[in-house]
Amino acid sequence: MLAALPLLAAAPAPEKPAAKPALAPSEIVAAAPAGDWVAIAPADLLVMDLAPDAQGRARRVVIQLMPAPFSQGWVGNIRKLAAAHWWDGLSINRVQDNYVAQWGDADGEDKARAKPLPAGLMTPFEGEYSVRLEEIFPARDAKEVSTAADVEKWVTPDQEFAASLPKMADAYAPSVFHHRGWPLAGDMDRYWPIHCYGAVGVGRGMSPDTGSGAELYAVIGHAPRHLDRNIAVVGRVIEGIEHLSSLLRGTEALGFYKRAAERTSIASIRMGGEVKDLPRFEYLSTESGSFARYADARANRRDAFFIKPAGGADICNIPVPVRRAKG
């Protein structure tokens, strides 16, 4: 419920108890069997430790990198940048309200002062912002896909499972679906990862530049879906997004900070495999019955607080549950 508050000026409570309300989405997730959770390899995590806050509290942001076949050129660069400890001592330079928090080299525009990039970074091209359906499902025969219904059959061949998923009408793409833990969209020709809240993308200059991955941002507002297919999505924040979303907003154009002192220092960014005592993380399989029930409950809230189930949901309002593994 939205608020644990008194029934201010409330009508009298009903005299007979209501039927037992349905489970809330969080309760469905909590009840999911262990087998519905999928481990996230530490090697696929990027761990950003910001300088402690004004009260001396640690600020760690954990990012899960996009798996193949998406954005792998940039993801490979990011692995190299982290291995080179390239971001250490750099900063968060831009925080634009309801949009993004962005980090990298604040002096990057000044050739004389820019921090040199490690050798061996590749230059992905714009075609890599999206993939073909058969790249997502390599074990399947390629076949003609001409309607959103065809895509649904390909993505979720189990018709009973497909029917249990909620409606997710979308303004940006004919098809949107979850696959192996990620929200994806497609138009029958190409398929791409979605800029939902917490998504991490690659800052770039003007086309045909695609960015290297050295300059990254996280979405801290309403899903900026117009960026889909225009910028590479390389991952998502799975823990600690509040350390980015609660930062002071920059007052210059695009939310850049006016004074260097306003920036937040990055102590280090490391691949998860390099970080001692990193908790193990896991996500709720988007191919599980628990996920289907969770998604349906997100789209049709029937738990006690709600009086009108919506009947559908925006895919970005069905965030894939991620948690620290137990034990």
Chosen residue from 52, 157, 159, 246 binding a second copy by CB under 8 A: 246
CB of 164 to a second copy, least distance (A): 17
How many residues does the structure list for the chain?
327
Chosen residue from 62, 66, 227, 269 binding a second copy by CB under 8 A: 227
Q: Is residue 247 within 8 Å of residue 86, measured between CB atoms?
A: no
CB of 170 to a second copy, least distance (A): 6
Q: Is residue 62 within 8 Å of residue 45, measured between CB atoms?
A: yes
Q: Please give the full DSSP string across 246-277, using - where no structure is assigned.
A: TSPPP-SGGGB-SSGGGSEEEEEEEEGGGSTT
Of 71, 32, 31, the C-alpha closest to 228 is 71
Per-residue buried b or exposed e for 116-141, using 16+ beta carbons within 10 Å of the residue's own CB: ebeeebeebeeebbbbebbebeeeee
C-beta of 263 vs 301, nearer to a second copy = 301
Chosen residue from 145, 241, 266, 284 binding a second copy by CB under 8 A: 241
Q: Does 84 bind a second copy (CB under 8 A)?
A: no
Q: Which of residues 115-134 bind a second copy (CB under 8 A)?
A: 117, 121-123, 125-126, 129
Q: Tell me which amino acid residue 46 is.
A: L
Chosen residue from 80, 178, 225, 270 binding a second copy by CB under 8 A: 225
Stretch that binds a second copy, among 1-9, 35-43, 136-144, 287-295 (CB under 8 A): 1-9
In the numeric block, the tokens 């998502």 are attached to: 236
CA distance 322 to 8: 36
Q: Over the Cα atoms of the chain, what is R_g?
A: 21
Q: Does 193 bind a second copy (CB under 8 A)?
A: no
Q: Does 112 bind a second copy (CB under 8 A)?
A: no
Stretch that binds a second copy, among 134-142, 149-157, 247-255, 264-272 (CB under 8 A): 247-255
| 3-state secondary structure at position 132 | coil
Q: Does 197 bind a second copy (CB under 8 A)?
A: yes
CB of 47 to a second copy, least distance (A): 19
Per-residue contact string for residues 172-191; x = within reach of a second copy by CB under 8 A: x-------------------
Q: Does 198 bind a second copy (CB under 8 A)?
A: yes
**Strands of the chain, DSSP E:** 37-40, 45-50, 59-65, 91-96, 100-104, 175-179, 182-186, 191-193, 199-202, 216-219, 233-239, 264-271, 281-284, 322-324
Query: How many Cβ atoms sit within 10 Å of the Cβ of residue 172?
Result: 16
Q: Which of residues 6-35 bind a second copy (CB under 8 A)?
A: 6-11, 14
Stretch that binds a second copy, among 27-35, 78-86, 211-219, 278-286 (CB under 8 A): 211-219
Q: Which of residues 40-69 bind a second copy (CB under 8 A)?
A: 54
Q: Which of residues 266-305 bind a second copy (CB under 8 A)?
A: 298-299, 301, 304-305
